[in-house]
Amino acid sequence: MKKSVLFLIDALGCGGAEKSLVALLNRLDYSRLDVDLMVVRGGGMHERFVPAAVHRIPAPARRSRGRKLRDLLFSATLRLLRLLHVRRHGAEVHWTCLGPSFLPPEKEYDFAVAYQQGFPTYYVAEKVRAGKKLAWINMDLEPAGYRAGFNRPFYRRMDAICVVSDAIREKLTRTGFLDGDLPLHTVLDILDERMIRDMAAEPVGDMPQASAGLRLVSVGRMTPQKNYPLAVETARRLRDAGLDFIWYFIGTGSDYPRVSALVKDYGLSENIRMPGMRENPYPYMAGCDIYVQTSSAEGFCLTLSEAKILGKPVVSTDFPSALDQIRDGQNGLIARMTPESVAEKILLLERDPGLRRKIEQNVAAERNTTAETEIVKVNALLQ
């Protein structure tokens, strides 16, 4: 008989976890597995890539009794925390106030997989009936605002915990965020090289031609962890150094107004373009000269791998998981988390064509094997 598996994720938008889950779903053996997918907030841009063999089931339902009261509690708690300047992750507040009202799915599963921290993990831990429960951790939890004391009880109920980089695994162990005896597995985010190259070949109308100067691109949600203000400060220094460039910020999010205001205040509107979210960011990545990542924290940072698949030299800040992917001076450049350092590395690539060619050649020689190696790990977990 087929094993029944439930995957649960917040959404299927543009994030790394979402893209990785879709790639994973396209590599499962459906002659052996019967897979249900529960998406909390539907309508994401990657829903169209979910294979037909996956059964889409409704988002978690809530009890009607007391629902309005709990909604008011949630809203009032958020306002009070903001008023008192108390930092709490929204997912923790959401589950504290609304968690008791969520109904469990009717079906019992052989395996239930929370493919994200936060709500998917809380729901799988407390509501889903399953023989085995697995949780994915896709980010550096503490910088994102998650608290160890709140989250430990949920992870204790998991039979396996998968982290997307050795750096995150090491930090969770070293800091004691999770109990030391929990079974941790490193399972890298899965990428589909062919799909990325095919999508990169699609036309896009607003990328400048090569004559427009150096073309830089950064892709990702505009959240504090992505550190777009650092990119703006870097652009300011590049302009002051006399560099002719255009830098595309592909994404939107909570920091978009702040970043947009910085661009205006510094008079960088001619250098920085902010077209918002793009369902297909790969033509921008393929059309750039240098891909730049200015994050302060990442779980794995899928965009670094995607840029390398497209043969692009990368300049990245030195968050821990970047060092898992980038060998400084070989397949990219690592900068400190200062605008001076990031600008220095970009200018180095612009002014040293020999170094740039060397990095491009090394990147072209690499092959992303996650589609083969990581699916083996997942299949072993789903035994």
- Which residue range is the domain that position 297 belongs to? 196-365
Whether 85 maps to a domain, the answer reads no
Question: Dihedral of CA 367/45/42/139: which sign?
Answer: positive
200 and 168 in a single domain? The answer is no
Same domain, 222 and 154: no
> Do 303 and 171 share a domain, yes or no?
no
302 lies in a domain?
yes
In the block, tokens 């777009």 appear at 228
178 and 207 inside one domain: no
Residue of 202, 186, 104 lying closest to 377 (CA atoms): 186
On whether both 172 and 200 belong to a single domain, the answer is: no
Residue 84 is assigned to a structural domain of this protein: no
pLDDT of residue 16: 82
Within the chain, which residues score under 50 in pLDDT?
none
Structure tokens at 71: 């909604």
Q: What is the pLDDT of residues 76-112, one digit of tens each?
A: 999 999 999 988 999 999 999 999 999 999 999 999 9
Q: Is residue 55 helix, strand or coil?
A: strand
Assess if residue 87 is contained within a domain.
no
Q: What is the CATH number of the domain that holds 26?
A: 3.40.50.2000
Q: Are residues 328 and 225 in the same domain?
A: yes
Burial group, residue 211, by CB count within 10 angstroms (0-12, 13-18, 19+): exposed
Same domain membership, residue 212 and residue 312? yes
Task: Tell me whether residue 95 is in a domain.
Answer: no
Whether 72 is in a domain gets the answer no
Q: Can you list the alpha helix ranges (DSSP code H) found in 204-352?
A: 228-240, 256-265, 282-287, 302-309, 322-325, 339-351
Q: What is the pLDDT of residue 209?
A: 62
Return left, alpha or beta for 43; rule: phi > 0 is left, psi -120 to 50 is alpha, else beta.
left
303 and 208 assigned to the same domain: yes
Give yes or no for a contact between 307 and 314, defined as CB atoms under 8 angstroms apart: yes
Going 91 to 96 to 97 to 103, the CA torsion angle's sign is positive
Q: Three-state SS for 258? A: helix
Does residue 281 lie in a domain region?
Answer: yes
Quick one: 297 and 180 in the same domain? no
Co-location of 308 and 169 in the same domain? no
Q: Are residues 157 and 204 in the same domain?
A: no
- Answer whether residue 152 is part of any domain: yes
Distance CA 93, CA 75 (A): 10
| Domains held by the chain: number | 2
Pair 169, 237 in one domain: no
Strand positions, DSSP E, the chain: 3-11, 33-41, 55-57, 109-114, 130-137, 160-163, 184-186, 214-219, 245-250, 272-276, 290-293, 314-317, 333-335
Looking at residue 211, what is its pLDDT?
Answer: 57
The whole-model pTM stands at 0.86
